[in-house]
Amino acid sequence: MKKLTMTLVFVLMTALGLSAKCDWSGYYMKKVNQQQNVFTFQTNVNWDSCVDYWWIVYDHQLKRNDTIQDIRGYSQVQFNAKGKYTVNLKVVDGCNKCDTTFSYLVDITIYHKATVDWSVGAHNCKYYQFNMTSFDTCVEYYYSIYKSDLFDTLGVYWDTSSKIYEWLYTNYDFDEKDLVFYNMTSQRNVTHQFTDSGRHLLVGYWYNKCSGIDTFVMRKLDVCPNNIGLGIVKFNKQQPKLIGIYDMLGRPVKHIREEEILIYLYSDGTSKKQIIR
């Protein structure tokens, strides 16, 4: 019995010794940016011969885990449906036989009564006044307005489809080069003077600073529709419009990376492979 006790003590001391080698206190995983429903995370854990890590998103609604790509310590994920998600960073030290998991909870809640209204100037069709639904003092209000050549390629789909916002969530990358307006500080009511006519996309964003919950709504804007030709770039029919960039697995690519084979899909149904060097 004494020998067995000593054996157990030795095993416990060995386990504690291994655990002592796994000090994760100097490492972190955190959210560093958020643009509408796109979240960017960062970690200072570095890959080496001993340490490896994976970004994993757990969908609490579907009870499913999905891995997301790491780009030199950063990872980005887009949430296209309301609900709760947990972004996990799983870290393993194979040399010291230890591991840990960093987690960040994301709660996307849609305020069913949230909407954005606007009025247009009586004598100036480019002058807009916007108004977001008011909530309690915890909520902050933000606007983003985009104008992209992609909107013009959608034709009647832009005007008639009941799934246009769902399609835009999935296929439009909300590129900063398309951003024509945003407010830096919380404002529920804003005015904006457009410099161009044509199709624009408004994103209203409510952020609850007390709970960390946020939500978004999209609204199509056709600025000065009677003069829509003034704001549209005309393309030759023999010059098809780029509508998407995908990797070799068919996944949409949001950020161009060097030395990666990419597939460019055009509006006339053609595609081509290209590698950026």
Domains of the chain: residue spans and CATH: 27-108 (2.60.40.10), 116-231 (2.60.40), 242-275 (no CATH)
Integer Cα distance of 101 and 277 in angstroms: 35
- pLDDT, one tens digit per residue, over 154-174 is 989 999 988 898 888 878 888
- pLDDT, one tens digit per residue, over 113-147 is 788 999 999 999 999 999 999 988 888 999 999 99
> Mean per-residue pLDDT for 81-95?
90
pLDDT-based confidence at residue 47 (cuts at 50, 70, 90): confident
Residue 256 has pLDDT above 70, yes or no: no
Q: 50-61 as b/e, with b when 16 or more CB fall inside 10 Å? A: ebebebbbbeee
Strand order across the beta sheet in which 179-182 lies: 64-68, 51-59, 83-93, 98-108, 214-223, 198-208, 139-146, 179-182
Integer Cα distance of 193 and 98 in angstroms: 58
What pLDDT does 217 receive? 87
Residues 6 or more apart whose Cβ sits within 8 Å of residue 247: 253, 260, 261, 262, 263
What pLDDT does 228 receive? 44
